[in-house]
Each structure stands twice: as C-alpha cells, then as structure tokens.
Chain A
Amino acid sequence: MHSELKHEHVEAARRDLVNRTLSKMQGDFARLIYLASMRDYNTSCYHHDGLARMFTEDIAARAIACCHREVFERLVLLPLKGLVEQLELYAASNCSTSLELVRTWERLQPYRVTVPLECSRLPARLFVSNITAALAVLQARQLRTRPERQSASPDQ
C-alpha cells in the first residue's frame, strides 16, 4: 500500500517535471544534459529544489532519475542520423555553432557523465561510440560547408 502510494507520488512528480520543464526544452540532448546536471557527482543523488518542495527530496530524486533513464534510453536507441540531428538542435538552442560544440565536446567529452548510474556498460559504450561518430559527422559537414561559404563570399 505504502509503496503503491509512493509510486503514485513519483509518477506525479515525473509528470510535473516533464510538463513544466522538459517539454519546453528543444530536443532530447538538452533534456539529457539538464537532467544529468542535477546529479551530484559524489553521491549520484539528484537534487531539484522546486520539485523537492512540492513533493519530498526522495520522490523528486526518483522522478528525475526516471526521466533521466527515459531520455537516455531514447537517445541510445536513436539511429546515428537522428542523433546528428539532435546534436545540431542542441548546438542551435545553446547559441553555439556546431563546430564550437564539436571542438569542446571532443576535448572535454562531457557526454560521458550523462550516462545514468544504473545503465550497464554495453549501452553506455554504445552511446559514447554513437556520440563520437555523430561529432565526426558534424565536423565533416562543417568542413564541407566552410570552403563553399568562403568561395561564395565576395571578399575572398
């Protein structure tokens, strides 16, 4: 009975998080980065003040973990083409160019810390491998379009 009640609360908190915050973000990548950023690096617990005030700290953490898993799962199962589109969308929504994103992500590899804790190693490796490939595609596209742009410019 108690666990059922708790599950209902977690579900309500999850819906709240999806409707109020996640649905307003553009693309699953932005959602993944946002959700992973709410996780403490040392304890792996999720914190969200607003959600914790509405429900409890524990329920809020469970709801965020649930959303994090869902978004991650969607991105892992996405074909490479779709993942590239998601990355482009993420770059555009963060006011940076794809090239800037590629440069930073290749150096820092921040996507490695976005993997949910309970994810087994193989899907995590698949995710990292797909991101690396998607970044390579973005870089190749940028390199292809840059000379075209230079030749189109009258100053050149």
Chain B
Amino acid sequence: MIAFLVAVVVILSVCFLVSVRSCRLKLDSESYGTEQGTSGPLGWEYLMSEVSPRIFDREDSNFLATETSRQVTRRFRRERTRLALDWIRIVRSRVNQLMRVHLGASRKNSDLKPADEVRVWFEFFLFQLTSGILYLVIWICGPARAADLVEYFLELVGQLRRMTQDILPSGYETAAELIRTGQESRAETR
C-alpha cells in the first residue's frame, strides 16, 4: 500500500514537473519565436506520426554501438533521451492547449452532455498519468525501452483529439486554428 502511494506521488510529481517545463518551453517559444511549429508539412502531424518512431527506435543505437566507441554511443543515447523528453513536453503542451480550448467551448455550449465531458476529462487524466510514467521510463531507461508505452500514449492522444472533435467540433476547430495561427505568427517573427 505504501509502495503504491509512493509510486502515485512520484508519478504526480513528475506530471507536475513536466507541466512546469512545458509552460517554460511555451514561454521560451513566445519570446524567441523559434520553437517547434505545429502544423504544416513538417509540423504537428509530422511530429506525431513520422518523427516519434525515429526518436524511439532502438536500431540506430544498436548500429552505432557496433560501429563506434562506447563514448560516442553514450553521447548519442543521451541526445536521444533529451529529444524524447522534449517530444513529450511538446505533445503535452499541445494537448493542454486543445483541452483549454475545449473547456472554453464547452462552457458556452448549451447542449452539453455531462457524460461525454466526464469521458473526455477522464481520458485527459489518463493522458497526464501516462505522460508522467513515460517521462520517468525515458529518463531512467532511455527512449528505446519506452517504445511500447509511446504507442499507447499516441493512441490516447488520438482518442482525445477524436473525442473533443466529436463532442464540440467548433471547439476543436478553434484549437486547430489557434495552433495554426500560433505557428504562422512564429514563422513571421523568424
């Protein structure tokens, strides 16, 4: 029981830390205008579907271990871990943005179905929990060991996007628009 409580506290602390770092990442991006874009050909969708398998792929690391020194492989694994952790922060920050817009839209909606809302927020809670666990796994074991959990994490993200889109299409479109204009304004400041 105590071990379970400790695990919950650790995961919640990690979730909190990741949230704080995501906020900082967002602030950095706003002040410098150089952080990751979210839409467009090399943006959000690309980041989710194409880039993530590459970051979490263990083949590269194994190949490097057979070809180069231990030092080079270690450096490469450290860099991949940093990339994977940043990837989680980016995904979290986008999902948080989506949920903020969904909350705003659902407040204005007169035909709101409480059961649907409960489902969405439960899914969001699961997403937060999974991202905390994933962050811990990557930090401790490296991205290659987290590949299976990443698949589940991506499924949750997809499910959340579908649910928010089905319940409040206008809210989802606003979120997508916000994400798009966010990227455009960043591109203009570059």
Q: Interface stretch among B83-91, B108-116, B145-153? A: B83-91
Complex alpha-carbon distance, A81 and B34, angstroms: 30
A123 touches B64 (CB 8 A): no
Q: In the bound complex, do residue A69 and residue B72 qualify as a contact, i.e. CB atoms below 8 Å apart?
A: no
- Report the minimal beta-carbon distance from B44 to chain A, rounded to whole angstroms: 8
Interface segment, one of A6-14, A28-36, A130-138, A148-156: A130-138
B190 touches A117 (CB 8 A): yes
Distance in angstroms between the alpha carbons of A141 and B83 in the assembled complex: 27
Q: Which residue of A lies closest to B86 (CB)?
A: A122
Main secondary structure of the interface of A (DSSP, over half): helix
Total cross-chain contacts (CB, 8 A): 87
Query: Which of B54-62, B122-130, B169-177 participates in binding chain A?
Result: B54-62
Is A125 within 8 A of B47, CB to CB?
Answer: no
Give the interface size class of chain A: 20 to 34
Q: How far is the CA of A123 from the CA of B40 in the complex (A)?
A: 13
- Given A81-B63, A129-B76, A118:B57 Cβ within 8 A: no
Within 8 A of A (CB), among B67-126: 67-69, 72, 76, 79-80, 83, 86-87, 90
Query: Smallest CB-CB separation from A69: which chain B residue?
Result: B41
Q: Which residues of B contact A126 (CB under 8 A)?
A: 51, 54-55, 83
Contact pattern, A 100-140, Cβ under 8 Å of B = 1, otherwise 0: 00000000000000001111111101100110010011001
**Cβ contacts under 8 Å, B46 to chain A:** 73, 120, 123
- Determine the chain B residues whose CB is within 8 A of the CB of A136 once the complex forms: 64, 68, 72, 76
Q: Does A45 contact B (CB under 8 A)?
A: no
When the two chains form their complex, are residues A120 and B36 in contact, meaning their CB atoms are under 8 A apart? yes
CB-defined interface of B29-54 with A at 8 Å, one 1/0 digit per residue? 00000111110111100110011001
Contact A76/B51 with A81-B63, A123-B42, A133-B60 known, Cβ cut-off 8 Å: yes
How far apart sit A120 and B90, CA to CA, in the bound complex (Å)?
Answer: 11
B87 to chain A: which residues have CB within 8 Å? 122
Say yes or no: B68 contacts A140, CB within 8 Å: yes
Q: Which residues of chain A are within 8 angstroms of B86 by Cβ–Cβ distance?
A: 122, 125
Tell me the minimal C-beta distance from B177 to chain A in angstroms.
18
Min Cβ gap B76→A in Å is 5
Known A117-B190, A122-B90, A130-B60: A137·B37 in contact at CB below 8 Å: no
Can you give 27 A-B contacts (C-beta < 8 A)? A72-B42, A76-B50, A76-B51, A79-B57, A79-B59, A79-B60, A81-B59, A81-B63, A84-B67, A118-B40, A118-B41, A118-B42, A118-B187, A120-B43, A120-B46, A120-B47, A121-B36, A122-B86, A123-B46, A123-B47, A125-B83, A133-B60, A133-B68, A133-B72, A136-B68, A136-B76, A141-B67
In the complex, besides A123-B46, A125-B83, A140-B68, 15 extra interface pairs with C-beta distance below 8 angstroms are: A72-B42, A73-B41, A80-B64, A81-B63, A118-B37, A118-B41, A118-B187, A121-B34, A121-B36, A126-B54, A133-B64, A133-B68, A133-B72, A133-B76, A137-B68
Interface residues of B (CB under 8 A from A): 34-38, 40-43, 46-47, 50-51, 54-55, 57, 59-60, 63-64, 67-69, 72, 76, 79-80, 83, 86-87, 90, 187, 190
